[in-house]
Amino acid sequence: MNDRVTIQIEDGVADVRLNRPDKMNALDRAMIDGLAAAIDTLSATPGLRVVVLSGEGRAFCAGLDMEMMAAIGDQNFDIMTRTHGLANVFQQVAWGWRTLPVPVIAAVHGVTFGGGCQIMSGADIRIAAPHARLSIMEMKWGLVPDMAGMALWRGNVRDDVLRDLIYTHREVSGAEAIALGLVTRTAEDPHAEALALARQIASRNPDAVRGAKRLANAAFDTDAAGMLLAESHEQGLLIHSANQIEAVMANMQKRPPNFSDG
């Protein structure tokens, strides 16, 4: 990982920040590589329970910087090779948050354009400032969204609304984005709100939280029979497990739980 992304972990909550504030966290190749490396690091971090993803300075992420835009036509700009499972490296910086085993909460402020909007959309929950500025910007430059947005927006943004946002690349506020399905809710201080929510989730049975994320991820591509079986499988893993018993005892004894991380 490089200095484009910072990670601080406390009590199982990772505070991850895009760290190029002088450029509104625009995506150059170093930022792309830093985000991909951060996802790899978090995937291998023991005891991790929740991730909060935000941007330093005045913005969450302004999208591709102009040097990256120029590089798109370069013959060495490889988008066809699958470097990270299903994804290329540019898709991984958005898709990778969805595939992390723990919940990810995006805290969004300032501008969130293009690739930044797709990175935000990889989070399980997206909290935006009411006056944040969001746009699926690619059509402005004669391009289509290709950093996993089309896969991530399914189930969140209605099909005709998504087409409108893509074709016109119109800008919407954080408050408007709730009704459109781009964000979950707004807060005047989205980072503080995201951290508070992260701590709340981190206090739950980590095995159940991870199981719930697996079920939620599977819901878009699995038929009813498969989902019913998946529910039963996850519940079977949890019932009478040490952490599930601890959740019951802590509630009965009206005390904070003491979960273990396997």
Q: For every one of its 262 residues, what pLDDT tens digit does the chain have, with 9 covering 90 and above? A: 689 999 999 999 999 999 999 999 999 999 999 999 999 999 999 999 999 999 999 999 999 987 777 666 565 568 888 999 999 999 999 999 999 999 999 999 999 999 999 999 999 999 999 999 999 999 999 999 999 999 999 989 999 999 999 999 999 999 999 999 999 999 999 999 999 999 999 999 999 999 999 999 999 899 999 999 999 999 999 999 999 999 999 999 999 999 999 7
Decide if 190 is inside a domain: yes
Alpha helices, DSSP H only, in 54-108? 66-71, 89-99
- Domain of 45, in residue numbers: 5-201
Decide if 261 is inside a domain: no
CATH of the domain at 227: 1.10.12.10
Residue 132, both tokens: 């944040």
Q: What is the C-alpha separation between 18 and 49, in angstroms, rounded? A: 20
Query: In this structure, are 147 and 218 located in the same domain?
Result: no
For 24, 95, 123, the CA distances from 100, given in Å and listed in that order, are: 25, 9, 10
Query: In this structure, are 173 and 230 located in the same domain?
Result: no
For 1, 18, 54, 113, 178, the CA distances from 21, given in Å and listed in that order, are: 17, 8, 11, 15, 26
CATH of the domain at 181: 3.90.226.10
State the pTM of this model.
Answer: 0.95
Please tell me the number of Cα atoms within 13 Å of 150 on its side-chain side. Answer: 7
Query: In this structure, are 147 and 44 located in the same domain?
Result: yes
Query: In this structure, are 178 and 70 located in the same domain?
Result: yes
Residues with Cβ < 8 Å from 219, sequence gap 6 or more? 155, 227
Question: Domain tally for the chain?
Answer: 2
